[in-house]
Amino acid sequence: MRIKMVIEYDGSNYHGFQIQPNAITIQETLETCLAQLTGETIRITAAGRTDAGVHAMGQVISFDTASTIPDDRFCLALNRFLPDDIKALSSRQAPDDFNARFNAVKKTYRYSIYNSAAGQILVRKYALCLNETLDIEAMQQACRYIEGRHDFSSFCASGSSARTFERNVMKCELTHNGVWLTLEMEADGFLYNMVRITVGTLLEVGRSRLSPQDISSILEVRDRAAASPTAPPQGLCLIKVDYPDTLRIQEQ
């Protein structure tokens, strides 16, 4: 049967999701633990292949298994083998052709910024730590230019294998709560480093080195060099992946 599983992880100690030689990854750890649980060689597909240091609260993976473990108990069974920084939250049988990556219709990422001199130590692995005056209203205005269907070439790291650069950003919302600044982005898909380049560019707006309107021209030129440096990975977290209702995967 094909399984759809929702997982969360602390990416601090991994070289990203995707398997690679000579470095420990989330994928390798999951596949090793699935092998220990089932005795099978299992290859998994993930909705979003997060980079080194990036976290997830709602990553989705799909894989096949001949195991007789009931689909909804699979997550509990797997948790007995997983290390304490990876956890399976739920599992369900999915249609045989379900693919966690290609069937995704929407992904939600959150980027957390902690803006205070005191207390950085306790959040340093889960937020970008700053201590500067930012024009938050200008940053929020800039978010309005990100939202919508655009060619996001300027917000895509070189080395991307993407064939099209148009994406539909349904939500790009910056909220401010005391020392915390949180950017939530929802889109039908994300280009390589798209959230982190967006954050880096919004910060330049916050520092008044760019105006909110500059986002428009940055998008127009379709050139990575027009946007600002990429924000570091530890502030980023994959929150949620949505699939079409027509897939009829039982609610979890």
Applying CB under 8 A, which residues contact its own copies? 8-10, 55, 57-58, 84-87, 89, 117-122, 124, 126, 237
Q: For residues 150 and 196, which CB has a smaller minimum distance to its own copies in the complex?
A: 196
Region at 215 (left for phi over 0; alpha for psi -120 to 50; beta for the rest): alpha
Positive or negative torsion for Cα 83, 89, 91, 96:
negative
Question: Based on the number of CB atoms within 10 Å of its own CB, is 165 exposed (0-12), middle (13-18) or buried (19 or more)?
Answer: middle
Give dist(CA 223, CA 156) in Å, integer: 9
Q: For residues 10 and 204, which CB has a smaller minimum distance to its own copies in the complex?
A: 10
Known active-site residue 71: no
Q: For residues 127 and 219, which CB has a smaller minimum distance to its own copies in the complex?
A: 127
Q: For residues 13 and 160, which CB has a smaller minimum distance to its own copies in the complex?
A: 13
Give dist(CA 88, CA 75) in Å, integer: 5
Minimal distance in Å, beta carbon 126 to its own copies? 6
Minimal distance in Å, beta carbon 88 to its own copies? 11
Give dist(CA 151, CA 113) in Å, integer: 26
Q: For residues 5 and 219, which CB has a smaller minimum distance to its own copies in the complex?
A: 5
Q: For residues 16 and 58, which CB has a smaller minimum distance to its own copies in the complex?
A: 58
Residue 237 phi/psi, 5-degree rounding, is -145, 130
- Name the catalytic one among 10, 51, 71, 214: 51
- For strands 86-94 and 2-9, give the pairing: antiparallel
Minimal distance in Å, beta carbon 68 to its own copies? 26
Instruction: Please list the active-site residues.
Output: 51
